[in-house]
Structure 1
Amino acid sequence: MELKQYQQEVINDLSAFIDELEKTEQLNIAFSRFWESKGISLQTLDDNFLKPYDNAIKGVPRVTVKVPTAGGKTFIACNALKPIFESFPPDKPKVAVWFVPSDTILKQTYKNLNDPTHPYRQKIDSHFGSAVKVYDKESLLFGHGFNPVEVKEQLSILVLSVQSFAANNKDGRRVYRENENLTEFSKTYKFPDKMIEGADETALIQVLAQLNPVVIIDESHNFEADLRIDMLNSINPSFIFDLTATPRNKSNIISFVDAIRLKKNNMVKLPVIVYNHQDSNEVITSAIQLQKTLEDKAKTEEENGGKYIRPIVLFQAQPKTDNDNVTFEKIKEQLIEIGIPENQIKIKTAVKDEIKNEDLMSRDCEVRFIITVNALKEGWDCPFAYVLASLANKSSAVDVEQILGRVLRLPYVSKHKQELLNYSYVFTSSNNFLATLDKIVHALNKSGFSSKDYRVKETQIQVEQNKVEQGSFESMFSQSQQDTEENSETQPENQDPEIDVESLKQLETSEQSHEKLDEIIDLARNTNQEFEKKIEEIEKEDSLIPAELMDKVKTYPVKEVFKDEVKEVRLPAFFKKVNQNSFFETEGTYLPLSKNLLLDGFDLSKEDHNIDFTRTSSEMASIDLVEGRKDEYVPEYRKVTNEVKEAFVQYISSLSPEGKINQLAGRLAQQVKRNDEIPEPQIIQYIKNSIKDLNSEKIAEIAHDEYYFSTLIKSKINSLTDKYAEKQFVTLLDKGTVVCQDSFEFPQKISPKNTLQGITKNLYVEEGEMNDFERKVINEVANLDSVVFWHRNLERGKGFQLNGFINHYPDFIVKMKNGKIILIETKGDHLDNSDSLKKLRLGEKWASKAGDNYRYFMAFNNARLDGAKSVGELIEILKDMK
């Protein structure tokens, strides 16, 4: 099971934040710079959720990712463990406390993470060499496999609920009491200032605090009342990773996933089709008929090679009251009376659970209708649920908040050829439809969706609404307030909804009911067309800005005068042809070229391992300055680095020469291995070869400053892989295995962090900022008669990238009147270094393979590299391209 593209982008965002944190060692600065790299300034952004870093848990990185229901939050969390733990010192215990909001989800999460065959566990095992153990609260309290030796050698995942630590109940108090099963841990404590007052030194809560765990909070919006700041502080976390569909106001959000991305990746049944009927009889009739229609479509799907689907209707009844509103028992009786087999109907409530032992995904299961109130609100993720039919009385606003998310998951996470199987449906009969829609919108919001993700339809004649905001859900109504009031008169407000069996039988065969079903199907198809169009539009937007923030961030569109012309421009990029026996699908598949794809056959053990381990006094002073900085925004785990170093230096001093080499190589490799291009065993062996001839004093020095020396090693390895990748790149170009194909299209809008005006012929209303030399060059270029437009290319994944043995974002893209596209990289005369040489070689290769309509130039003011141009020479070349 691999990450979906949007899930990988979440992990990339997490890694990018961690990288900024390692550079700055300041939480607030790292958070600001992370968003600045996406063109967003937190100081000027007017958003309810995204604000400057909140340091409520002082010295502890705490970040949130916003992912809607059915977006795969648990799988994202499984993949997040790797970059988080890789950011810590090598000998920090790998302990993760995984908080879940309820016992139901706890059992489900523990079961999946503990199952070696489950994709969640398989992914974690692949990242941590299968040295993984999962614990629940009972196994922790009894010390089953939970001891200092085990913890040191593995990743330990502790699946717990917040209630486990509630001191106000008997079960919660157990974690604060003396525990002889955990006595061994008390001999290993390293954080005396983190001892919890009132808890025995052998208590489980004390052990957790001393292990300084990473904390994963699943569905963190459910913890506002229980998971207080003081409680989080008490377990002394080293990193907190929140996952939620609805972040709190003070959440430090680093990644947004919107509903459109889930739709595009076939995770959810969107749009949600909402249809308001005249009464409960119509609701039931439409639900039954739609279920039959969907099941017929599912059979056709399977006959044509699709997987088995059995669509299910969720009938949401009102709670039983003294007035005996429509209850689950009555609904079941009436469904049976109109001819639905009893084995197809089940009740699921807090007190009656008829699906407890049913495998709803099984072909042998007969269940097609489930009657519930709110018992399915969490921990129930059967993707066969398609229709939510509410049977509340007509005077009520339908309360669907808790279970709407149960019909959103798309079976098998794949788009179905029978298009009606790709949507979800909500049927109601409410006179107070405005309030009902408010509830539906709120339910979607709680699941991380919005009012853009559904369409509504009522049964009455459509009339115009006055003063209704275009695009809001009110503008989609097709029933007037007058109609609503008239219906209210025919059914008193306090009258309970009544299901009439005879009416149901008549409706089922009536022309009217079939017309309603056709109308629902047409609405679904038309709405999906709008969705597909919206997906296409979003793909052309600035990809680094989440859709949720688009209207909050200042963006700059293409100038009207260039809109038609820029649509025709496609910039080629490099692609590699994939072999049939590779991980990928079929022979002939072309993948965007990356450095990883150029390292086939690279063997680090055969490369030069001579590294200069000498250091200057200025380098040492620089390191000491960084490590000595103290601030509440400095992560706590950075502050204890010196203690960890001293302990390790003392430890390896007692080892044999070979033992010293082995231990040090292993630790340095953990710092270097974040380069996923090379297997860790190769890195370890390479480091051993590099340090095996060093004397004891140098070994001790390296052990004391692992970060600095691992950086030297990583730099050396990178230079070796760069050299190999470039050689492979040239060879594969000659063979035709690497080709240049049209790829990049200009986005409709851009959002640079800072902008510049005053230069003519700019493609966008405003262009990104530039230094004085860059401005001088493009100003001269723009004033040539031969130039149509120019654009300041954006970096960090937002602009056009020359992807080869290195990734290179040229400074400017220029369209000429003779049709040629020019890439220009500007260099101050002091920048004629090896990096410039690599860019120049790559640019020239790109121009030679892209075709006659493309050129690449590197421009210096005066001094230049072979093949580069002076500004004067560049202008002479471009001025005649008319």
Structure 2
Amino acid sequence: MELKQYQSHALHWLRRYYQKCCVMQQAEDTFPASTAFTSVTAEIHEGQGLPYAPVRQVPGIPYVCLRIPTGGGKTLVACEAVSLGVQELLQRDRALILWLVPSDAIRTQTLSRMQDRDDPYRQSLDTSLGNVAVLDIEEATRMKRALLDSHTVIVVATMQAFRRRDMSALNVYKNNGELMSHFENLPPELLEAVEREPEGHFNQSLVNVFRLRRPFVIIDEAHNARQPLSFETLRRLNPSAVLELTATPNLKAEMVKEDGESYENPPSNVLFSVSAYALKAEEMIKLPIYLRYREPWDALLGDAIGVLNHLDGEARQEEAQTGEYIRPIMLLQAQPEYKDRASITVETVEAKLKEFGIHESEICVHTGSRRGLDGINVQTRESKVRFIITVQALKEGWDCPWAYVLFSVAEMGSSKAVEQILGRVLRMPKAKRKQRDDLNNAYAFVASSRFDEAAKALKEGLVASGFEGQDVDDLVVERPLLPGIPAETAPPPDVPVTTILPDKPKAALPLAVVDVVTWNPKTGELTVAKPLNKEQEDAVLAWAGTDKAQAAVRAAVNKRAGRAAEPQQRKTCPAEAGVTFSVPVLALKQGDFLHQLEEDDILERNHWTLAKCDALLPSFVIPTEQRGISIDVNETEKIQQRFLTETDRQQRLLESSAAWPPAKLIVATARAFPHPGLTDAEVDIWLQRVISEQEKRGVTLEQMTAHRHRFFKAVAARVNELEKQNQKKVYETLLYGDGSGTVHVSLASVFTFDPQKYPVGDRYHGLELPRHYYKEIGAMNHEEIECARIIAHDERVETWVRNLEREPKLSFWIQTSTDKFYPDFLAKLKNGKNLAVEYKGGHLAGNPDTVEKERLGKLWEERSGGQCFFEMVKGPGDFAKIQDAIKKAAA
């Protein structure tokens, strides 16, 4: 299963964090997990890093969170993250992994997939880790020490299996003779890690096996596991690191009481967040959600059925075009049966569907007592199910991308109820955009008389599903005229229509409407009691004043008159208006063809050898040996555990430390890193020289064997450094030397921004910046905002874009000697010419990266024949250069 770009980004930053932790630990930083977190988040956000919130029950260990919204593939990311924890952080051949989930249903599903060797989850684990064993908690209580010594063992369990105040009631804490081998012939200092009874003895328990092995812990749906008792449970397990994955992390500290004392529960350390726009750009979810609200509920149900029937017709045409079979499904959310008042129950909704002519075979009910989904797969041609009725939640872990329509009569005061099934209609079938555009959206029908009520419930449900609050206003769109619904609807019942005006008029209502319209200036409520004639409509619209207030009045007047509401008018951006934004790239000419210059083109020309390279490994450092389980207390009395040193020491005490012969170490090292372009023979000869050089420095084969993963990484880093040095020479020759005639910039090879895909994460919020190609604008610092302001307000600019970094398929870039350069801004002028602008702070003006990018940008400009222009802005004093560049390009 190929990773999506945002999944790769999340794993890239997690890898970077674990590598930084190791660097900080080797530098004897007092707070390596904290320092690394602040450093990496500063890189991610291109500014000040985020503070790290330690968990007092497990001090010092790396404890971070990846935030991925519902439908984003958290489990696949977690599978890939296991190898990062083992190889990058712990630097071991294998490790014990504890994978915690919130419920038994999810545990069963996760375990089943991970134990299936044909499943992408298991294939991900096998590919990156080699020998892997996946066990449930019962199997773990019987595992032998030999299994842990030869495999990466993943134990999938619920937190409840370990979490209880009375530990004696849980089997994982009890003495277990089947685990005896794990405690035999252990050095006394290693037994310091086990948890002992008050009398001094310890149980040969599963928890003590975990304590010896320092498990790497993954917590799925981690927002469910941040209570004091959960943290105390983690303390008992003695983890080496904790990785949380959730759509909704805890972002604020909370005060809690435990044993009569108050403590602050820390927020999650969110290392990386995935946005809704990233999921949409990767075609993972259906967005936006088109909302229709209406009363009475049964008329709304008729509308929803009309949309579902329309989507069914679209699906048949999609199958004819692409061969993909889809049967659109509606999820219906009924109310529970109230004792003190009437409710729209499952039975009521089911009966109404049958009144509309829906056959019984097309209806499935899934509640606590009627488990219609159990044991069936609705995503087959044989199934006839098109309507699924529930109350609060569907079967846990149930996933059906064919669900397109959400119909809800749930109480608007409970967004939780909406959230529980909202995520079900967001997933895109096969994670691929459809040819029929109506199949790329989700549809929600909420029984309500007011848009703000209906939209609020959906928006809060989206936030609860992991979407950013700043995004949801754009993800829920009022669209009264949906496909499949006739433009003219039946007149509503003879009841008043009330709405709240967003902008309160200060004047009194005009006399022409006082008999048919009432206005409450305190609450902002306008009530249309009777249908209005044309003169009255004009009068009340003139009285409303602002565009927003007039839109609300117009909707209320239309509804009371029985007319279809007017479609919401929204200002379109150039991408939505069909504007094409193409920019010539730096291209390589081969014969009569041009293609964008990429790193592979340089690698093909990078013929080099290790034969003449030195065999020094400056980054290979043997950590200082420590005795005992050390806890450091610094001057601020914050307890910090030397997590990597202790984990490494415990693992080596469990393993044989016998030295490998040089030949075995050479083979293992050569396999540990890719080296295309180098022969196995020259790598082996060079590695022999490296080992000899280390022995001259006093590093023994036993030490190299014991710390072989550090050795592997040091070798890989050195080979990469040597390769990049030679690669830079090749690049210089290709672009600026004898081969310079092979690179071109012309309209024959261009990059075109995709109007549908702009995977923005952090977004710009501020004064309007007109002409941006997309509706959203990527985040910028203060100086970059000033650059954008100058570009956006220049009348000579047709459109511009805040170019996103690390998006090679969706952003403009120019190949450097070792990486890709993404200019901060691209502008298309009205005369068709292009301008790229890069901002660098004044303190970075003379560094090698800035010099290389400016030189490359000017080469791109030079080779374009006057079609492209580049400007490097170095500090606030250079802002005037942007207008000069626009003037030059517009001439």
- TM-score in same-fold range (> 0.5): yes
Given the alignment, which residue of 250, 260, 279 partners 1:262?
Answer: 279
Cα separation, partners in 2 of 1:62 and 1:118, compared to 1, 3 Å: same
Given the alignment, which residue of 34, 40, 51 partners 1:34?
Answer: 40
Cα separation, partners in 2 of 1:825 and 1:105, compared to 1, 3 Å: closer
Q: What SS does the aligned partner of 2:208 have?
A: helix
* 8 Å contact from structure 2 (residues 133, 152) kept in 1: yes
* 8 Å contact from structure 2 (residues 617, 714) kept in 1: no
Q: How does 1:634-649 map to 2 (within 5 A)?
A: 636-640=642-646, 643=649
Cα separation, partners in 2 of 1:116 and 1:588, compared to 1, 3 Å: farther
* 8 Å contact from structure 1 (residues 823, 855) kept in 2: no
Give the equivalent residue in structure 2 for 1:563.
none
Q: How does 1:284-303 map to 2 (within 5 A)?
A: 284-303=301-320
Give the equivalent residue in structure 2 for 1:593.
598
Cα separation, partners in 2 of 1:223 and 1:712, compared to 1, 3 Å: closer
AA in 1 matched with 2:817? F
Query: Which moved further from structure 2: 198-207 or 728-737?
Result: 728-737
2:108 matches 1:111:
no
AA in 2 matched with 1:23? V
Give the equivalent residue in structure 1 for 2:23.
23
Give the equivalent residue in structure 1 for 2:658.
652
Task: Give the Cα–Cα distance (whole angstroms) in 2 for the partners of residues 736 and 147 of structure 1.
Answer: 65
Given the alignment, which residue of 281, 288, 295 partners 1:271?
Answer: 288
AA in 2 matched with 1:294? L
2:822 matches 1:805:
no
Give the equivalent residue in structure 2 for 1:370.
388
Give the equivalent residue in structure 1 for 2:688.
689
Q: What SS does the aligned partner of 1:97 have?
A: strand
Q: How does 1:678-717 map to 2 (within 5 A)?
A: 685=684, 688-691=687-690, 698-700=699-701, 702=704, 713-717=715-719
1:695-719 Cα distance to aligned partner (Å, 9 max, x none): 6955346557768765663454124
AA in 1 matched with 2:36? A
Given the alignment, which residue of 492, 501, 508 partners 1:465?
Answer: 501
Give the equivalent residue in structure 2 for 1:411.
429
AA in 2 matched with 1:689? Q
Q: What SS does the aligned partner of 1:313 have?
A: strand
Cα separation, partners in 2 of 1:846 and 1:456, compared to 1, 3 Å: closer
* 8 Å contact from structure 2 (residues 284, 427) kept in 1: yes
Give the equivalent residue in structure 2 for 1:158.
155
AA in 1 matched with 2:297? S
Aligned-residue offset at 1:376: 0.7
Task: Give the Cα–Cα distance (whole angstroms) in 2 for the partners of residues 9 and 104 of structure 1.
Answer: 30
Task: Give the Cα–Cα distance (whole angstroms) in 2 for the partners of residues 390 and 711 of structure 1.
Answer: 55
Aligned-residue offset at 1:389: 1.4
Cα separation, partners in 2 of 1:61 and 1:162, compared to 1, 3 Å: same
Task: Give the Cα–Cα distance (whole angstroms) in 2 for the partners of residues 287 and 235 of structure 1.
Answer: 51
Give the equivalent residue in structure 2 for 1:718.
720
Give the count of matched residue pairs.
738
AA in 1 matched with 2:23? K
Cα separation, partners in 2 of 1:379 and 1:466, compared to 1, 3 Å: same
Q: How does 1:314-393 map to 2 (within 5 A)?
A: 314-322=331-339, 325-376=343-394, 378-392=396-410
Aligned-residue offset at 1:593: 1.7
AA in 2 matched with 1:607? L
Q: How does 1:494-505 map to 2 (within 5 A)?
A: none
* 8 Å contact from structure 1 (residues 315, 372) kept in 2: yes
Cα separation, partners in 2 of 1:753 and 1:336, compared to 1, 3 Å: closer
1:529-579 Cα distance to aligned partner (Å, 9 max, x none): 789759999xxxxxxxxxxxxxxxxxxxxxxxxxxxxx99x68446799x9
Q: What SS does the aligned partner of 1:290 have?
A: helix
Task: Give the Cα–Cα distance (whole angstroms) in 2 for the partners of residues 855 and 267 of structure 1.
Answer: 36
2:198 matches 1:196:
no
Cα separation, partners in 2 of 1:602 and 1:399, compared to 1, 3 Å: same
Task: Give the Cα–Cα distance (whole angstroms) in 2 for the partners of residues 384 and 639 of structure 1.
Answer: 50
AA in 1 matched with 2:124? K
Cα separation, partners in 2 of 1:715 and 1:334, compared to 1, 3 Å: closer
Query: Which moved further from structure 2: 267-276 or 222-231?
Result: 222-231
Cα separation, partners in 2 of 1:430 and 1:222, compared to 1, 3 Å: same
Aligned-residue offset at 1:295: 0.5
* 8 Å contact from structure 1 (residues 283, 429) kept in 2: yes
Q: What SS does the aligned partner of 2:84 have?
A: helix
Aligned-residue offset at 1:300: 0.9
Give the equivalent residue in structure 2 for 1:558.
none
AA in 1 matched with 2:225? F
Task: Give the Cα–Cα distance (whole angstroms) in 1 for the partners of residues 572 and 428 of structure 2.
Answer: 18
1:704-744 Cα distance to aligned partner (Å, 9 max, x none): 77687656634541244235545765898859997656569
Give the equivalent residue in structure 2 for 1:608.
611
* 8 Å contact from structure 2 (residues 220, 244) kept in 1: yes
Give the equivalent residue in structure 2 for 1:11.
11
* 8 Å contact from structure 1 (residues 162, 226) kept in 2: no
Aligned-residue offset at 1:220: 0.9
Give the equivalent residue in structure 1 for 2:225.
223
Q: What SS does the aligned partner of 1:352 have?
A: coil
Task: Give the Cα–Cα distance (whole angstroms) in 1 for the partners of residues 421 and 132 of structure 2.
Answer: 34
1:242-284 Cα distance to aligned partner (Å, 9 max, x none): 1111110211111111112212221112112222221121132
* 8 Å contact from structure 1 (residues 394, 432) kept in 2: no
1:407-459 Cα distance to aligned partner (Å, 9 max, x none): 11111111112222112222222357655544332211110124322023678
Give the equivalent residue in structure 2 for 1:777.
none
Aligned-residue offset at 1:592: 6.3
Task: Give the Cα–Cα distance (whole angstroms) in 2 for the partners of residues 393 and 158 of structure 1.
Answer: 40
Task: Give the Cα–Cα distance (whole angstroms) in 1 for the partners of residues 577 and 232 of structure 2.
Answer: 44
Task: Give the Cα–Cα distance (whole angstroms) in 1 for the partners of residues 442 and 834 of structure 2.
Answer: 48
Given the alignment, which residue of 191, 208, 211 partners 1:209?
Answer: 211
Task: Give the Cα–Cα distance (whole angstroms) in 1 for the partners of residues 577 and 115 of structure 2.
Answer: 40
Given the alignment, which residue of 429, 437, 440 partners 1:422?
Answer: 440
Given the alignment, which residue of 440, 445, 461 partners 2:463?
Answer: 445
Give the equivalent residue in structure 1 for 2:546.
none
Aligned-residue offset at 1:468: 7.9
Aligned-residue offset at 1:843: 8.4
Task: Give the Cα–Cα distance (whole angstroms) in 2 for the partners of residues 531 and 110 of structure 1.
Answer: 47
Query: Which moved further from structure 2: 704-713 or 407-416?
Result: 704-713
* 8 Å contact from structure 2 (residues 416, 461) kept in 1: no
When the two structures are superposed, what TM-score results if normalisation uses the length of structure 2? 0.68
1:201-233 Cα distance to aligned partner (Å, 9 max, x none): 321111122221111111111223486211112
Cα separation, partners in 2 of 1:764 and 1:30, compared to 1, 3 Å: same
* 8 Å contact from structure 2 (residues 21, 89) kept in 1: no
Say what the alpha-carbon RMSD is for the aligned residues. 5.7
Cα separation, partners in 2 of 1:328 and 1:660, compared to 1, 3 Å: same
Give the equivalent residue in structure 2 for 1:283.
300
Cα separation, partners in 2 of 1:377 and 1:255, compared to 1, 3 Å: farther
Cα separation, partners in 2 of 1:290 and 1:661, compared to 1, 3 Å: same
- Percent of pairs identical after alignment? 25
Aligned-residue offset at 1:168: 5.8
Unaligned runs of 5+ in 1: 44-49, 470-478, 488-511, 538-566, 580-586, 654-658, 768-792, 859-879
Q: What SS does the aligned partner of 1:111 have?
A: helix
Unaligned runs of 5+ in 2: 26-31, 253-266, 481-491, 506-522, 532-557, 754-770, 792-802, 828-832, 873-887
AA in 2 matched with 1:292? N
AA in 2 matched with 1:329? E
Aligned-residue offset at 1:693: 5.4
AA in 2 matched with 1:138? E
Aligned-residue offset at 1:850: 5.6
* 8 Å contact from structure 1 (residues 290, 517) kept in 2: no
Task: Give the Cα–Cα distance (whole angstroms) in 1 for the partners of residues 824 and 331 of structure 2.
Answer: 56
* 8 Å contact from structure 1 (residues 270, 408) kept in 2: yes
Aligned-residue offset at 1:89: 4.7
AA in 2 matched with 1:5? Q
Aligned-residue offset at 1:320: 2.8
